[in-house]
Amino acid sequence: MHKMPRIWLDYCRFLTRQGRITESRRAFDRALRSLPLTQHDRLWPPYLRLVRLHAPHGCLETALRVLRRYVRFKPEGREDFVDFLLEHQRLDEAVANLVAIINDDSFQSSRGKSKHALWQELCNLLSRNPLEVTSVNAEAIIRQGISRYTDQVGRLWTALAEWHLRAGNISRARDVFEEALATVTTVRDFSQVFDASAEFEEGLVRQLMEAAEEGSAAAGDSEESLESDLAMLRFEHLIERRPLLLNSVLLRQNPHCVPEWHKRVQLLADRPAEQIGTYMEAVKTVDPHKASAGRACTLWTEFAKFYEKHDQLSDARTVFEKAAAADHRTVDDLAYVWCQWAEMELRHGPPEKALALLAKAVAPPSHKVDFYDRSEPVQARLHKSLKLWSFYVDLEESYGTLATARAAYDRMLDLQIATPQIVINYAVMLEESAYFEEAFRVYERGIALFKWPNVEELWKTYLIHFSDRYGGAKLERARDLFEQCLEHCPAELSRPFFLLYAKLEEEHGLAKRAMNLLGVTHTRAVYEKAIESLPDAEAREFCLRFAELETRLGEVDRARAVYAYCAQICDPRLHEQFWHAWQEFEIANGSEETLREMLRVKRSVTAAFSTQLNYTAAAAAAAGSADSDDQAEDSAGPSSSDPMRALEQQQQQQSAQPKGILFVRGKDQEQPAGVMRTAPAAAESAASGVANSNGAGGKANPEELQIGGDDDDSEDSDAGGEVMEEAGEDSDGGGENIEISELPVPSEVLGSLAKDSDDDS
């Protein structure tokens, strides 16, 4: 039954339990030879357990041979074999098996390890055991990992240097560190390598200093002190070189980074020769079209300035000539080079040289070139560079003549590269030279080049200067300019132009045109100012117009406030037109409450005017004079077609009162003591606030009588109306008796009327 695996397994297990190691091994070997290969999987696990169990007890070599046979049968078990070798310090064979695993592309780790993890494990074994591992080339393996795994370059370089250090090759380890610092391309790898190198140098310095101290204590100064000093110098030199080494890493990572090249030059500030070499390397390395940060043209200009700083102008000009012929990403970069060249010439020579240089730069090419055609070199498109032309015209204006400056400006306008500010500068230059009409023509040329909103400042400057120059002398021409401007001006930009137009009309034209231009907001201010400053007669008319304007605009509250203000100067017995207009307004736009308020104000104003002695005396005097003039006409009877004559007769009848003037004070009500005019606030105050004031109209008179009651209650401002109604009831005998006192009229009130009365008597 030698082909039965069950019999062999029971037999081998029986021998193993008895502790017969040799007989058990031989039984397993016989079973492996007897059973087919497909059944070996059942024999190897107990066989491996046997050899691993007795390996620490003098059977290590037997276990190694058995495991080597097992690895040939099943390569997937090589990882277990490596672990067994490491466990028993068989490092050389363990490394060899790891190398075999890594080189086998078909190997699949039973533990889920990647090739990268196996590489790391291998490098750790090599770097930490340089003397024990002799079967493989450790340096070649680590360098192969450096080129293969770029994300672990810093760690692998450190492992290689550590391998040399443990092997005792200190100088070789230092060379590896320097090589690593000169080849890594990431800041992370650089930090790993630099920190390891600094730690190595610092540890070496510490070790040598301790040895030097022991040597000096034992036998005086020795060579150890010199070695420690040298090691200290190496360490300090390494620390000082860190910024430059880091800059080299960044440039290797991106050689087209212009700011890093400038930074490198600054780091070499005390080494001019190396600075020159850096500039030369930079202008050769940097591709202007690939520069991710900064402008490649600044490398050329800074290179030239370096020579200028050291008074080597010929070398600086040579650099600028090469820069002008070199490739640049944009036309502005080339223009920047020419401008820097011209500025250097201005600093070290007459301005004519700089002007000639710029004239050469802006010279047109032999064939027509489109400025935006990138297929053409930047040198062929330079003649349309706005930056270069702006600098050129500034120099012509500062150092050239008026003719050359005008020629430069005209050339810019012909090339259609001028900006609105350039046009303004050109016109201002002509105005300063008293060429006003030429300046205005320049404005018009500039306006023809641009559209809204770019032309806004140009139009504004043109109109202001034209108005200041001619004022009203050329008013029609100015109006035409404003009309041309406003014809195409967007609505959101038209406000300042309307204000300028209105100002022109106000100062030199018609006020009506100015009012039409200014609009409602400014019209309100004009109405308010007119009402405040004009006499009562004209103020009434403006109030009516103001109220009509606000009504048309839908501002009912504003219009009501205007009516309430105007009521102070409108006697209902003389100015019925105003009160009729207010009543119609309230009927059309108000409510019953607002209409009642209007009637209350009317009664209050009527009472206020009735108590003013000056007004009553003046009315009586006017009636007396009118009586003598119209006596003949009165005999013929009033004409129904003359309303003014009928009004005068009505006033004469009302003035025919008994001799002396009676003043009646109502119950618990204070008579209004005259009305003072205040500044108009019709557009901002509420109508009720104005109507509730005790005064009602007229200007203050220093000679009027102040007649007041002794009651503090002000129930309503209808006191005058109530007094008149009560007086009428008493005269009819229907009310209670009210004492009415008769007071003599002071002579100051009647004036000349009192004198005439005495003469008649």
Straight-line distance from the first to the last Cα atom of the chain, in angstroms, rounded to the nearest whole number: 179
Confidence of residue 499 (pLDDT cuts 50, 70, 90): confident
| Lowest mean pLDDT, pick from 146-155, 309-318, 434-443, 513-522 | 513-522
> Residue 522: what pLDDT?
65
Confidence of residue 17 (pLDDT cuts 50, 70, 90): confident
> Residue 364: what pLDDT?
87
What is the DSSP secondary-structure string of 646-687?
A: HHHHHHHHHH---SSEE----TT-PPP---------TTTS-H
> Residue 555: what pLDDT?
86
Give me 284's structure tokens.
């050769």
Between 306 and 507, the higher pLDDT residue: 306
Please choose, from the candidates 328, 324, 329, 330, the residue with its C-alpha nearest in 3D space to the C-alpha of residue 358.
324
Contact status, residue 685 vs residue 560, Cβ threshold 8 Å: no
> Residue 590: what pLDDT?
87
Confidence of residue 737 (pLDDT cuts 50, 70, 90): very low
List pLDDT tens digits, range 368-384: 888 888 888 888 888 88
- Mean pLDDT, residues 264-286 taken together: 92
Between 661 and 454, the higher pLDDT residue: 454
* pLDDT score of 184 more than 80: yes
Distance CA 460, CA 520 (A): 24
The whole-angstrom distance between residue 408's C-alpha and the CA centroid of its chain comes to: 36
Confidence of residue 261 (pLDDT cuts 50, 70, 90): very high
List pLDDT tens digits, range 599-646: 999 889 888 888 764 555 555 555 454 444 444 344 444 444 454 455
CB atoms within 10 A of CB 130: 18
* pLDDT score of 169 more than 70: yes
Report helix, strand or coil for 662. Answer: strand
* pLDDT score of 712 more than 60: no
> Residue 683: what pLDDT?
37
- Mean pLDDT, residues 178-183 taken together: 92
- Mean pLDDT, residues 177-196 taken together: 92
Percent of the chain with pLDDT over 90: 27
Contact status, residue 723 vs residue 595, Cβ threshold 8 Å: no
> Residue 194: what pLDDT?
93
> Residue 262: what pLDDT?
93
Contact status, residue 357 vs residue 347, Cβ threshold 8 Å: no
> Residue 513: what pLDDT?
59
Distance CA 483, CA 459 (A): 12
* pLDDT score of 412 more than 50: yes
Cis peptide before 453 (omega within 30 of 0): yes
Give me 400's structure tokens.
């050239």
* Angle ∠(245,267,194) on CA atoms, nearest 5: 20
CB-count burial class (<10 Å; 0-12, 13-18, 19+) for 659? exposed
List pLDDT tens digits, range 205-244: 888 887 777 765 554 455 667 777 888 899 999 999 999 9
**Which amino acid, 382?**
L
> Residue 115: what pLDDT?
80
> Residue 645: what pLDDT?
52
| Lowest mean pLDDT, pick from 41-55, 89-103, 312-326 | 41-55
Give me 256's structure tokens.
């087209």
- Mean pLDDT, residues 117-133 taken together: 83
* pLDDT score of 103 more than 70: yes
Distance CA 362, CA 278 (A): 32
Q: In degrees rounded to 5, what are phi and psi of residue 343?
A: -65, -35
Percent of the chain with pLDDT over 70: 76
**Which amino acid, 8?**
W
Between 498 and 657, the higher pLDDT residue: 498
Please choose, from the candidates 399, 329, 395, the residue with its C-alpha nearest in 3D space to the C-alpha of residue 362.
395
**Statement: the pTM of the whole predicted model exceeds 0.75:** no
Report helix, strand or coil for 146. Answer: helix
Distance CA 328, CA 319 (A): 15
Please choose, from the candidates 465, 461, 450, the residue with its C-alpha nearest in 3D space to the C-alpha of residue 419.
450
Between 406 and 44, the higher pLDDT residue: 406
List pLDDT tens digits, range 72-83: 777 777 778 788
List pLDDT tens digits, range 530-586: 788 788 888 888 888 888 888 887 888 988 999 999 988 898 888 888 899 999 999
Report helix, strand or coil for 676. Answer: coil
> In the chain, how long is the greatest CA-to-CA distance?
179
> Residue 59: what pLDDT?
74
